[in-house]
Amino acid sequence: MLLSDRFYMRQIDKALHSAPVINTADHPRLVLFSDCHRGNGTWSDSFLNNKTIYEAALGYYFERDFTYIELGDGDELWENRKFSDIEEIHSDIFKLLDKFNRTGRMYMIWGNHDRVKSRPGFKSAALPSSTEALIIKCSGSNGKGIRYNLIHGHQADFLNNQLWKLARWLVRYIWRPLELAGIKDPTSAARNYSKGKIIEDRMADWAKLNQTHLIAGHTHRPTLSHSEKNWSYANTGSCVHPSTITCLEIIDGTISLIKWAACADENQYIHICRYVISGPEVFC
């Protein structure tokens, strides 16, 4: 293993070292989202286009007793300085999130774009405290000893982890205005295929090396296929795909990759539809 690879392995280990643990016995239904990038409602708010889809999905999962887990970059706090602006413009969304929080069915992980949530002084009435990682342990005899390690994924990305302040400056003052002219940010794992693939390979290598399971976001590329008998790597995707959001559902020991999108029925009425992209596969 290269020295650089060992460096990224240690960053993931460090994030998981003191991660909170939840059990599937207490949370038999889980839904995992990442990279919502909720913004301030202006032209740069990538979340705005899919807000209605996301709102419908949240309602679906709350009514069916799912526990909501967000794997980082839920709020866009690189382009926007004030979380209060985001919370105000998307107050309807935060009311829904607050319902999960009040019933003890919400866990939040911070990512590189909302890293400020890790600060002790960060407060939100609707959201619980954020952690850098979370561990899901399987219950029952069949799942004894199986654990799924949840991180955002920036731990395998030097620019967006060690140099995150520089990356934030570049996003705020360089790439944000240039994107209006159609120039994509080459530093972004979500917009640069080769960069995203390298980061995903690092995370998959960590799971293989440790013979365990890892679920992340960060690259915005949904996957449930990179797996073997004793290890796996999965990715939630994001809520800022064109007219689509993706997530992972865990129900009674199985996991599925889900897409939510607008669809038309035979009478040309528009609905919000849920599609199973991959799975269900055995989780525990």
Blockwise average pLDDT, block size 10, the chain, 284 residues:
77 95 94 96 89 97 98 94 93 96 96 93 89 90 76 93 87 69 56 78 93 95 79 95 95 94 86 93 86
Q: What is the pLDDT of residue 184?
A: 58
Domain ranges of the chain: 3-282
Q: What is the pLDDT of residue 225?
A: 72
Q: From residue 251, how far is each of 32, 71, 151 by CA, in Å?
A: 11, 18, 20
Q: What is the pLDDT of residue 230?
A: 84
Q: What is the pLDDT of residue 187?
A: 53
Element (H, E) at 108: strand 106-109
Element (H, E) at 85: helix 83-89
Element (H, E) at 31: strand 29-33
Radius of gyration of the chain (CA): 18
Q: From residue 202, how far is each of 180, 184, 207, 230 by CA, in Å?
A: 32, 23, 9, 17
From CA 107, how far away is CA 20, in angstroms rounded? 10
Q: Which of 132, 52, 160, 151 is nearest to 96 (CA)?
A: 52
Q: What is the pLDDT of residue 6?
A: 86
CATH no. for 3-282: 3.60.21.10
